[in-house]
Amino acid sequence: MVIRAEPIVAVGRLQRRPATLSTWLDRGSVFSWLMMAPPILFLVAFVGYPFFYGIALSLEDRMVAQPGTFAGLNNFIRDANDPVFWKVVSNTFIYTAVATLLKMVGGLGLAMAMNQQFRMKNLIRALLLLPFIVPTVLSTVAFMWMLDPAFSVVNRLLMQFGVPKPGPSWLGNPILAMFSIIMINTWRGLPFYGITLLAGLQTVPVELYEAATIDGAGGWQRFRYVTLPILRPIILIVTLFSVIFTFADFQLVYVLTHGGPQNATNLLATYAFDIGMGAGQLGLGASVALTMLPALALLIVAITLYLRKKS
């Protein structure tokens, strides 16, 4: 028997493609980091640097246009012993809690109303964004005129219903002034809540409502057991953003009341500005501003843990 020897064919190694820019960008990790780099650099430049500079400033006894001296925690101790500071803290929490609750309830009702079928629906949805689009200072000046004791449109309407002249002083009474800025903040924030929750409502499958109706669920039961559980994560995220924006609100309060009367509407943001820019005590003003950080950080952590637990 003859055995033929077949030539052994060597299998060469696959040639590696030359590393080019396109092949480098095709890697998922490289492309994702390139997309994340601009926002990260933006945050570092315009958020990170001012934040850490504010921390350093709060540890100094520093006046405007003068070199600072290290003071440790003295500025925070001064804040803790200042009765006006605690009044401002109380104002800030009341303002944020009431305004956020009103925006959440009103925004949810607005979203459910806008989710119905009616004529000129798209036009009305677009008009809902007007309070959110109009610049804060411009709308606040308009409200200042509407609430003016001498030329108040609101008081003129109230007089038609028997309120004695000249009507309430909306910005001169401490309780009414707080009520006024809460209502104006609610008016401005309703579109943000309404449009965001409307987008969430449109993702709810119609089949769920049909199944609930077949099982005998009424309107309130469909809302409680179908709509609300699906919207809960969206409501929490929108509430988180609303609390951050409301807690640090500055323009509306500063233009409308400037913290008055008698610090009744002074918030942490306006009080920190008055101390830092008005009185020229930069270190003390920075310490007041930084007191907002622990409350907001705890809120963010709590909502994040809750969402992670639910997911």
pLDDT tens string 102-155: 999 999 999 988 888 888 888 888 888 888 888 888 888 889 888 887 777 888
Rounded CA-CA distance 248/48 in Å is: 17
- Quick one: pLDDT at residue 20? 64
Give the confidence band of 295 by pLDDT, cuts at 50, 70, 90: confident
Q: 100 vs 1, 93, 192, CA distance in Å?
A: 95, 10, 12
Instruction: Give domain limits for the chain.
Output: 85-154+162-267+293-310
CATH 1.10.10.10 fits 85-154+162-267+293-310, yes or no: no
Residue type (1 letter), 204: V
- Record the pTM: 0.84
Residues 269-286: pLDDT tens digits? 999 999 998 888 999 999
pLDDT attached to residue 177: 94
Count CA atoms within 13 Å of residue 295 on its CB side: 17
Q: What is the mean pLDDT of residues 244-263?
A: 90
pLDDT at 267: 94
* Span 240-260, average pLDDT: 90
Average predicted confidence (pLDDT) for the chain = 85
- Does an H or E element contain 61, and which? strand 60-61
Task: Sort strands 60-61 and 69-70 into parallel, antiparallel or unpaired.
Answer: antiparallel
Q: Going by C-beta distance under 8 Å and a sequence separation of 6 or more, which residues neighbour residue 209?
A: 222, 226
